[in-house]
Amino acid sequence: MTFDPSRTPQTGKAGTILVVLHQEQSTPGRVGQMLRERGYRLDMRRPPLGDTLPKTLEGYAGTVVFGGPMSANDSDAFVHREIDFVDVPLKENVPFLGICLGAQMLCRAIGGKVSTHPQDLVEIGYYDLHPTEDGTDLMDWPRKVYQWHREGMSVPKDAATLLARGEHFEHQAFRVGDNAYGIQFHPELTLAMMHRWTTKASARMQLPGARNRRDHFAGRAVFDPPVKAWLSRFLDLWLAGGATVASETKERLSA
């Protein structure tokens, strides 16, 4: 039976967030924790395992599409359905957040491209993040973020606003309209998730450009607190109206 947020008792007073995951053991991590703390109910779906996606987001407060081992270029039917689904929050102006694969699906949905690095470099571990002028106008950003990807995005300039650039892959964060965001990095990562990823996929840390496992955990001790603080501020901004709210806040502060 498909979940209907209008017919299901809300455990959280703030409303319901649609969460799209791509593996049986996947969780929304720290994003899910923070959303629950804010009073949101999470409607979690796993399209690769046969879960359907709603035809409308009426009754939802937002949508988060997370990462996964597959590519936004794959021919699997669920990948195409998810990319097509992105049009729903865009047309209905419901807050959308794509993380890693989810960001790449958003990129594909607006006409962008997803591809590997020209020198086959990857980003696995902590890497520099450089906000653009538009990104700085929106909010403060962490200087290092956790990455886990082999493909990157090429976001069309006429369809999106680039918010941050990266070390090996230039397009790291972007916005479509006021309420749809794509981020290549993983602010949702918990310590338990880092242990699981670096253990089950340890071979990936041998790829060109990847950080070694020791540096992942050493980096977390230094770089994770700013990422956690950024994520909390970002979620509040995103759910409150995104770029419009940021602009209004900036105008009030400068008045």
4: pLDDT strictly greater than 50: no
Q: Which of 189, 186, 210 is nearest to 123 (CA)?
A: 210
The beta strand positions in the chain, using DSSP E, are: 15-20, 40-45, 60-65, 96-99, 113-116, 123-131, 144-149, 151-154, 161-166, 171-176, 180-183
Over residues 82-113, the pLDDT tens digits come to 999 999 999 999 999 999 999 999 999 999 99
Question: What are φ and ψ of residue 46, in 5° steps?
Answer: -125, 90
Q: pLDDT at position 11, please?
A: 44
Over residues 38-74, the pLDDT tens digits come to 999 999 999 999 999 999 999 999 999 999 999 999 9
Give dist(CA 192, CA 171) in Å, integer: 28
16-42: burial string, b at 16+ Cβ within 10 Å, e else: bbbbbbbeeebbbbbbbebbbebebbb
The band of 14, judged by pLDDT with boundaries at 50, 70 and 90, is low
Q: Where are the domains of the chain?
A: 15-254
Report the CATH number of the 15-254 domain: 3.40.50.880
**Sequence-ordered list of residues with C-beta below 8 angstroms from that of 229, at least 6 positions apart, any chain:** none
Return the structure tokens found at 219.
Answer: 């980096």
Q: Which of 160, 153, 128 is nearest to 142 (CA)?
A: 128
Question: What are φ and ψ of residue 29, in 5° steps?
Answer: 55, -140
Give dist(CA 165, CA 114) in Å, integer: 15
Give dist(CA 205, CA 202) in Å, integer: 6
Neighbours of 206 (CB within 10 A): 9
Per DSSP, helices labelled H in 38-190 are 77-85, 87-92, 101-109, 133-138
pTM: predicted TM-score of the whole model, two decimal places: 0.89
Sign of the torsion formed by the C-alpha atoms of 133, 137, 143 and 149 = negative
245: pLDDT strictly greater than 80: no
Mean predicted lDDT score pLDDT of the chain: 91
Over residues 119-174, the pLDDT tens digits come to 999 999 999 999 999 999 999 999 999 999 999 999 999 999 999 999 899 999 99
